[in-house]
Amino acid sequence: MPHEVAYIGDQYTLHAVGAHEAGLHAYWLDRANSSAGTAISNGIRVIRSLDELPAALTR
């Protein structure tokens, strides 16, 4: 079931948007903090490091 899967990727358009469009929980791993000025689609969550992932998965 796609809605039970989380996908974490470091490329916004390819990974995060693609995962979201496929019905997955999408996380953009933005280590470079390049999301400033980027319009983030609803349903895509931004994390700065994998250390943030466990907490993000429980939200």
Q: What is the pLDDT of residues 32-45, one digit of tens each?
A: 999 888 899 999 99
* CA 3 distance to own-chain centroid: 14
Joined together, the tokens standing for residue 2 give: 């796609």
The SS3 of residue 5 is coil
pLDDT tens digits for range 6-20: 999 999 999 999 999
Q: What is the pLDDT of residue 59?
A: 82
Q: Which residues pair with 27 in a beta bridge?
A: 8, 45
